[in-house]
Structure 1
C-alpha cells in the first residue's frame, strides 16, 4: 500500500470516528459536573425520552475503551421505586463521591478506577415514571406494574437508539439488581418480541445480567432460613424447630411455623440485612432508640399487619422483593412506616451524599434534569408510585430467553440477607439444564473471589465472596473483573 492510499484510509477512519462521537444529540452532552474538576475520560449525555405523558430520565456514559464496538448496557436499580442513580453514585458509575467539607456542602467527585464504563457504554435509567428524575404529566400513570414498566422501557429503548443511531449495531445487554430481577427478564422478553415483529430500529440484543435479584416467591421466600443457618446466625435447635414445624415451606401460615420463624427474626433483627458483615449507619435524627438498628423490614414479619415498632429501611423497600409481605391481588404494598419516617433517613445506610448532590439546582441543570417544581425532589427510593406485581414468577421468562440463545449471568453477593444466594442458587438449578461447568472457584487479582456453576444454554450462576446486596458497592474490583470478562466472552 502506498503512502497516499494509507493517508486516505487514515483520514477516512478519523472522519468516521469523529462522526461517531458527534452523532449523539449535542443538547444532551454534559460539559461539566459540580464537584468534579478535570476532564471526563469519555463523553457523557443525559436527558429525557418521552413516552406519551411520561418523561423517562437517563444518564449515558460512553465507553472509555472502544465506544464503537463495546456493548451498550442498560442498568436498572430495583424497587419498585429506586433510582438508578443508586448504581451511578454508589456502585459502578464513573465517579467516586467524597462527602463535602464542611458537612452539608456538595461532595467532591473523583474518577472511579472500577467504573463499568471502562469496558462498556452504559445507560442509567430512572424507571418507571415517578422514580428518581422521571415523571409524568398525568399522575394516574404512577399506578403501574411489571408489564407496563417493561413495555414503557422497551418504547424508551427504541426512541433512545433513534437518538443515538451510532450504537444500534453494538451488542446490547440489560442488567440490574434486586427488584430488577423482575425488570430485567420482563424487559428482555419485550425486546425479543419487538425484534420478532420487526420493531425499528432493530436492537442487537445479546443477553442479560441479574445481581441479587428476586425471581420467584417460593424460592425467594424459602431462602432466608437456610441462609441464616449456613451463616451461623441461628442455632441448630432453632433451625430444626423451623424445619419440623414448617416442612421447609417457610411461608406456611400455621401458628406453630410462625412461632418458630419468629425466633429466626429475633436472632437477625439487629443485623445489616444488605451485608451481615457490615455495621449499620444510624441517622442521628432518626427515632430508632439506642439498642441495635431495629431495621427488620415488614417483609420479614408474619403475614398480615405487625404491631412491632420496626422502621423499614427505605433501601429495603426500594431494592428487594418482600419475602413474606402480604400481597393482595398482586399489589406490592407500600410500607406504612414510610409515611412515618423521612424516606432519606435510612437505617444502616447513609445516602446523604447522593441526596444532597442530586437535589442541587446546579447539578440538576448540568445533567439536564428538570427542577424540583417539575420532577419533584430526588430520592433514592420513592413511595409516590403504586406498583402491581403482575408478571408472576420469572422462571418461565428465564427459560424462554435462554432457550432462544440469549446469554444470562445470575450473580449473588454471598453475604446478602436481603435476597440470599440460597434462593438464587436453588432456582437456577431448578431450570433443569445440564451442568457444563461444575462448581468451582473463580479468581480475581490472584485470589479466590467467589464460586460459579455454568449450565447449558449459556446461563451462569456466580457468587462474589464477602459481597452484600449491591455487589459493586462492596467489591468494585472483583465486580468489574467478572463483568468485563463476561461481556468479552472470556472465561470467568
Structure 2
C-alpha cells in the first residue's frame, strides 16, 4: 500500500461497534483535515504554548465530535498537510482523481480492518470539500453497485460552508449577504444588480464592484465579526486593518461556549473571496500571497505541534525529513478543477436515498449562506420541514429547512467559515441529532 495519505493514521480512534462510524474528510487545498483536528472538533483543545512557538497545552474538548462518532481525519489531496508521495507526479491532481484516490484509500483501509466494515459510514468536509465530499460519495456508491469488496456501509454526507461550482456562488451570493448584514448600502447593491450579477469584473461593472471591495476591506471574510490578523512584515500592516472595523460590542454578538478564542488566522480555509471557480488551474495560497490578496495569516499552534518531531513520532507520522514540514498551505501541488457543478451529484445521491446535511455558518463571507440556501432550494425538492429555528442549550442556534429525499439545509447563528470552531456546543448538538436520525 502506497503511503500517499500518511496522515490518515494520525487520528484513527478506537471504534466501538455500536457507535456510528463517521469519516471526516475535512480537506481543502491546504491542511484542513489537520486543522479541523486541532481547531474544530478533535478530542483536544490546543492552548497556545508559552513562550510563543513552544508546544501547545492540550485540554480535553468537551464538544468533540469524537464523543458521538469515530473519525478519520484525512489530509487530501496528496501533498497537503503531512500527506506525501515518493512519486512527485502524485502532486499533479484534480477533483476526479482526488475522489478516486480517496476511494481507493477507503477500500484498502477497510480491507485492513474488516471488523469495522458494517459500521454506518458518513463522509463530511468543509469549504472546498463541497467538491471533495459529493465526488467521493459518488465513487463510493459506484463501488457499492459494482460489488467492490469490501462493501462500504455508506449512509450519507455532511458539508459545511461548502462550494458547489454553480451560478449561485460569487457575486450572486456575496451581494445579498453583504447587503443583508449591513456591510454595503442599498445603492451599492442596486448598482451591481442593475448591471447584472457578474463573475468577472470588467468595464463599467468594475466601478460598482470596486466600491463593494472597498466597503468590505479590513473585515475577516471567514467570520465578519472577527478581527483580522496581519503579519507585521506585510505591506498590509497598517493602523486601519490591524483590528476589526467593528465596534467591540458588535464583535461580541453571537458569543458562545468555547474554551479558547477562535484563532485570528483564517488563511487557507477556502479559496480567496474573488477567485471564482472555473475549469482549469487552482491558484495556490503561496501564489496568492505574493499577489498580496491573503488578508489573515497566523497559524502558530498547529504549526508548533505538528512540526515537533516527538509529536510526529508519537502519532506515527513520518518525520519532516521524509514527509516535509507541516504547513497550512502547500506549494507543491499542481491542482486543477474539473468536476463541474455539484448539483447533479447531490441529486443523484439524495434521490438514491443517501442522507445529506448542508450546513452554513451565517457570518461567513467567503462561502455565504445565501448561495448555499439558493442552490439547495434549486434542486426543486418538496419542502417537508418549512423554515424554522432550531435550538441548542435552550437558545435559538440557527435555522433550517428540510426537503424531500433526506436533504436538510441548516444555518448556525453567529458562526463563521469553520462552524465547530466558532460554535462548538451547537455544532455537536446538530451533528449528534442528525447522526441519530432525530429532529434537529
Q: TM-score, normalised by structure 1?
A: 0.81
Change (3 A) 1:393 1:340: same
> How many aligned positions are there?
418
Q: Does 1:183 align with 2:145?
A: no
Q: Report Cα offsets for 1:403-437 as digits up to 9, x if no partner.
A: 00000000000000010000000000000000000
Q: Distance in 1 between matches of 2:412 and 2:72?
A: 24
Whether the 8 Å contact between 1:62 and 1:120 is mirrored in structure 2 is no
Q: Distance in 2 between matches of 1:354 and 1:178?
A: 19
Q: Does 1:279 align with 2:230?
A: no
Change (3 A) 1:102 1:81: closer
Whether the 8 Å contact between 2:81 and 2:328 is mirrored in structure 1 is yes
Q: Report Cα offsets for 1:84-138 as digits up to 9, x if no partner.
A: 1110000000000011122222111010000000000111011111011110111
Considering Cα pairs closer than 8 Å and 6+ residues apart, tell me whether 1 or 2 has the greater RCO. Answer: 2
The 5-angstrom pairing of residues 344-355 of structure 1 reads 347-348=295-296, 350-355=298-303
The 5-angstrom pairing of residues 178-327 of structure 1 reads 178-221=127-170, 222-245=172-195, 247=196, 249-251=197-199, 253-293=201-241, 315-316=266-267, 318-322=268-272, 324-325=274-275
Whether the 8 Å contact between 2:127 and 2:161 is mirrored in structure 1 is yes
Q: Report Cα offsets for 1:305-352 as digits up to 9, x if no partner.
A: xxxxxxxx9955x33245643767522123564564999xx7535310
Whether the 8 Å contact between 1:180 and 1:214 is mirrored in structure 2 is yes
Q: Which of these two proteins has the greater Rg computed from alpha carbons? A: 1
Change (3 A) 1:342 1:272: closer
Change (3 A) 1:92 1:423: same
Q: Does 1:402 align with 2:353?
A: no
1:130 is paired with a residue whose SS is coil
- Counterpart among 25, 33, 38 of residue 84 in structure 1: 33
The Cα of 1:259 is off from its aligned counterpart by 1.5
The Cα of 1:217 is off from its aligned counterpart by 3.6
Q: Distance in 2 between matches of 1:294 and 1:388?
A: 34
Residue 115 of structure 1 aligns with which residue? Answer: 64
The 5-angstrom pairing of residues 359-370 of structure 1 reads 359-370=307-318
- Counterpart among 35, 56, 59 of residue 6 in structure 2: 56
- Counterpart among 331, 334, 352 of residue 386 in structure 1: 334
Stretch deviating more after TM superposition (198-207 or 69-78): 69-78
Q: Please, which runs of 5 or more residues in structure 2 have no aligned partner?
A: 244-263
1:436 is paired with a residue whose SS is strand
Residue 28 of structure 1 aligns with which residue? Answer: none
Whether the 8 Å contact between 2:383 and 2:404 is mirrored in structure 1 is yes
Residue 165 of structure 1 aligns with which residue? Answer: 114
Change (3 A) 1:336 1:376: closer
Whether the 8 Å contact between 1:182 and 1:215 is mirrored in structure 2 is yes
Whether the 8 Å contact between 2:228 and 2:265 is mirrored in structure 1 is no
Residue 301 of structure 1 aligns with which residue? Answer: none
2:381 is paired with a residue whose SS is coil
Q: Distance in 2 between matches of 1:328 and 1:419?
A: 16
Q: Distance in 2 between matches of 1:55 and 1:215?
A: 25
Q: Distance in 2 between matches of 1:349 and 1:470?
A: 16
Residue 307 of structure 1 aligns with which residue? Answer: none
Change (3 A) 1:153 1:337: closer
Q: Distance in 2 between matches of 1:79 and 1:194?
A: 24
Change (3 A) 1:81 1:314: farther
Q: Distance in 1 between matches of 2:287 and 2:346?
A: 34
Residue 391 of structure 2 aligns with which residue? Answer: 443
Whether the 8 Å contact between 2:303 and 2:326 is mirrored in structure 1 is yes
1:173 is paired with a residue whose SS is strand
Q: Distance in 2 between matches of 1:286 and 1:488?
A: 47
Residue 105 of structure 2 aligns with which residue? Answer: 156
Q: Distance in 2 between matches of 1:243 and 1:200?
A: 52
Q: Please, which runs of 5 or more residues in structure 1 have no aligned partner?
A: 1-49, 296-312
Deviating 4+ runs (over 4 angstroms): 313-316, 321-324, 326-329, 335-339
Q: TM-score, normalised by structure 2?
A: 0.90
1:223 is paired with a residue whose SS is helix
**Superposition RMSD on alpha carbons, in Å?**
2.3
1:283 is paired with a residue whose SS is coil
Stretch deviating more after TM superposition (66-75 or 146-155): 66-75
The Cα of 1:286 is off from its aligned counterpart by 3.6
Whether the 8 Å contact between 2:26 and 2:36 is mirrored in structure 1 is yes
Change (3 A) 1:71 1:378: same
Q: Does 1:100 align with 2:31?
A: no
1:332 is paired with a residue whose SS is coil
Q: Distance in 2 between matches of 1:212 and 1:329?
A: 21
